[in-house]
Amino acid sequence: MWLGLLYLSLSVAALTIILEKLYYRLRIDFNTPKEQTMDELEPQSLPRFYFCAVMQAFHLSAGKFYPALPGETMTKPDPDSPATFYPPRSEKMLAIECSMRHDRLRLYRECIGYSGDPKQLPPVFMSAYFNKAIIALGASQFSRIRILDLRHLIRENFHVSLINEKYEETPKGIQCTLRASVYDLSDTLVWEALLVGLSVSPKRKSTRKTPQADPAEFIMYKQEEINAPLNIGVDFAYATQDWQPQHLTKWTSKLVGFSSPIAHGLWSMAVAVDRVMANEKATFQDKYPLHLDVQFKKPLFLPGKALLQFDKPSGASGFTHFQMVNSKSLSPILTGSMHVGERMAQ
């Protein structure tokens, strides 16, 4: 019996060493050459990505914030960087002279039912296009969060370098703020997103809920039904190469705690924005910059139907509130606002 236990212990130890060495060889480290596609900023395969993400979960505690990883010394923040938290080598990705994947763009347009100018990019496309690279940054060898626990984005302000600007301890876990920027060849900023995600702690601190202010009065101007078929999660994954299991099938969604697949938040957001712009062409067509402020509330289970509701555009900037709600329970799936102009409205 003792020999059997010894053999089992040695086997487990050997397997652990093998997996650890494999992890250190495969984990993501970004060295980005010129003239590349975004595929080169992504993990080379899904098995590799998920293996690294699972191994990462054993190395990090979702309930503990690491101001510096073992063996790493912090550097002073770069005065020219917007980052308030700037570890060495770790949380910044820079890609020069990226090329567009037109096959993905075509699939994406079909997936969201794009109704805009075919010569222009759908407004939310870049967010979905870079989403897997953003996830990869979170699963990189120096990340401070457990990427498999990362919740849907809390907020996106649209106004590629990718940089983790700061981490913050909250009662629910570690909140991570990431800025994604796209410049053209003349170094003009053409797209920017501020993404806030939450790596949930298994041991949440019990705190009193802060009373929330009543939302601004929403006077519905138009309403449109949105149909989300069962296969939309897989179709969106083909378009964006974002194969997160909760969006694919009933069986893969159960692996991460959902009874059925849920629509990708960026799909819901893209459809909502496209429908508002299609209905209000006089306000939004060919007018830039376009600003979006979106908050994700609850998942839309597939297959499912939702109602897109929005108020009447107001002012010179066409400020519009919109929301997507469940067609049966009327519970909010996402809420947001959009307008055109040089600055975000306060």
Over range 219-240, report the average pLDDT. 92
In a domain, 211, yes or no: no
Range 252-272 average pLDDT: 89
Q: Are 132 and 220 in the same domain?
A: no
Do 148 and 240 have their domain in common?
no
Mean local confidence (pLDDT), 70-90: 38
Determine, yes or no, domain membership for 210: no
pLDDT of 169-228, one tens digit each?
Answer: 777 776 777 777 777 666 677 777 777 776 666 555 555 555 444 445 678 899 999 999
Query: Do 318 and 184 share a domain, yes or no?
Result: no
The domain boundary residue, chosen from 178, 201, 224: 201
- Give domain status of residue 6, yes or no: no
239: in domain = yes
Domain that holds residue 296: 216-346
Q: HSE, CB side, 13 Å, CA atoms: give it for residue 68.
A: 9
Residue 5, pLDDT > 70, answer: yes
Q: 171 and 231 share a domain?
A: no
Residues 187 and 270 placed together within one structural domain of the fold: no
Task: Provide the 8-state DSSP code for 214.
Answer: P
Last residue of a domain, one of 145, 167, 201: 201
Q: Is residue 286 part of a domain?
A: yes
Instruction: Specify whether 185 is located in the same domain as 312.
Output: no
Most confident of 54-63, 181-190, 213-222, 333-342: 333-342
Confidence of residue 80 (pLDDT cuts 50, 70, 90): very low
Q: How many domains does the chain have?
A: 2
* pLDDT value for 23: 67
Tell me whether residue 71 is in a domain: no
Per-residue pLDDT of 196-209, as tens digits, reads 776 666 555 555 55
- For the chain, the residue count is 346
Residue 256 in domain: yes
pLDDT at 4: 78
Q: Which of 201, 226, 241 is the last residue of a domain?
A: 201
Residue 240 lies in a domain: yes
Examine the domain organization and report whether 312 and 251 are in the same domain: yes
Shared-domain flag, residues 172 and 295: no
pLDDT the model gives residue 241: 77
pLDDT, one tens digit per residue, over 17-40 is 887 777 666 655 544 444 444 454
Which DSSP helix (H) or strand (E) runs through 14? helix 2-26
Q: 119 and 32 share a domain?
A: yes
CATH number at residue 268: 3.10.129.10
Q: For residue 285, what pLDDT band results from cuts at 50, 70 and 90?
A: confident
Find the Cα–Cα–Cα–Cα dihedral 278, 191, 110, 313, rounded to 10°.
Answer: -10
Determine how β-strand 36-37 pairs with β-strand 98-99.
parallel
pLDDT at 72: 36
Do 161 and 47 lie in a common domain? Answer: yes
Q: Both 245 and 295 in a single domain?
A: yes
Helices 102-112 + 265-279 axis angle, to 10:
70
